[in-house]
Chain A
């Protein structure tokens, strides 16, 4: 089945009716609700957001088979993308992970002390791993991209070293969901457990899309920059 990707002339509200998960992106894109009947391009203008960039993110976020075409990709506003990724990291670390941790604490509060310790340790390790991954991007990958753009000196890094270590993070998150469903004893704060599972599920989907943005936009764009630099030298 061939579906239509998001376009500049459609109603902004339609995008969110199609994929409500995109709501979490608004703060990261410096946008807000209240679209009324405005089109995507109108809303983007109103908020000073690059419309092509918005569509690229929205399409990766929503359609599994979407891949930006070469021309779109070469026009990419990389500063905007890096800013978006940084804001996403901040959102996960400062909002989502602590929020989920709160649920976890409530769930294990009345349980056995050792179960409490085990799960808290698992979660702390998971958070650390996510942080390490983000830190690597922010301290190594992003500066490298800026160097490619601005600096003529020879970088001692290449994007193909960008380890695809998303899978570890995804595995741990899937394991946590599994543990909460299957192995944590029953009768432990069912309502909190349900909220936590919903939050974990949303986080997992969000992180998965985040990884796709890196795989489908960031990495191909940097490969393009590398090729250009290679040809100029």
Chain B
């Protein structure tokens, strides 16, 4: 069984230890690391490459959206799940794909985590890992050195859609740098070397 790596960000040692225990044996999940504060979160995401971040929203406070998007920058397919045991307003929970309450049963927690990952995984949604034609169009322009705004104008898309395509390209190919994407485009004959070198 493939194990799914979870990074846990929780200030309470007791609760963190509880999750380690609960998701330890006979579960497809493994807690690959724990952070007790928001500091070091990005470093941990880079280091452990977790599929999922289970985080107490109080650690990020009002800056959740910016903090989480900075994590998406380093790991585009990470999923954020809130871990709660106190009241949070709906707006504070909006950035998260799901909410796990510590009163949930082991089964409820596992099902919630599986469900959010299923929604995320393109192989489950039938898209596969091959690039779509639209993604290839975006890739070619990225390789040519265009900025998101320029790509959006050229393809008649919103900047937001271009960013989504770029995330999917990186998720499917696992290539993050523009230089790496250029090599990919060239090796797959999507562009000619005279166009970029």
Contact = CB atoms under 8 A, between A and B. Distances in A.
B193 A122 contact: no
Interface string B18-58: 00000000000000000000000001001100000000000
B179 interface: yes
Binding site of A, secondary structure by majority: helix, strand, loop or mixed?
Answer: helix
Contacts of A100: none
B193 A117 contact: yes
Contact of A64 (B46, B47, B174, B184): B47
A183 B179 contact: no
Given A117-B193, A178-B174, A126 B183 contact: no
B74 interface: yes
Given A64-B47, A215-B43, A114 B186 contact: yes
A131 B166 CA distance: 28
Interface in B154-172: none
Given A117-B193, A121-B197, A167-B74, A176 B180 contact: yes
B58 to A, nearest CB: 23
- Indicate the size class of the contact surface on chain A: 20 to 34
B184 A179 contact: yes
A175 B177 contact: yes
Nearest to A126: B179
Contacts of A174: 174, 176
B175 A118 contact: no
A178 B171 CA distance: 13
Interface in A31-85: 64
Interface string A119-133: 101100110000000
Interface string A96-125: 000000000000000000110111011001
Contacts of A125: 179
A167 B43 CA distance: 9
B17 interface: no
A231 B7 CA distance: 38
A178 B187 contact: no
B125 interface: no
A122 B46 contact: no
A38 B111 CA distance: 54
A170 interface: yes
A122 B193 CA distance: 12
B188 interface: yes
B187 A184 contact: yes
23 contacts: A64-B47, A114-B186, A115-B187, A118-B182, A118-B183, A118-B186, A118-B187, A119-B183, A121-B197, A122-B183, A167-B74, A171-B177, A171-B180, A172-B177, A172-B180, A175-B179, A175-B180, A176-B180, A178-B174, A179-B183, A182-B174, A184-B187, A185-B187
What are the 10 A-B residue pairs with the smallest beta carbon separation, nearest first?
A175-B180, A171-B176, A114-B193, A183-B187, A118-B186, A172-B177, A175-B175, A171-B177, A122-B183, A175-B177
Interface of A: 64, 114-115, 117-119, 121-122, 125-126, 167-168, 170-172, 174-176, 178-179, 182-185, 208, 215
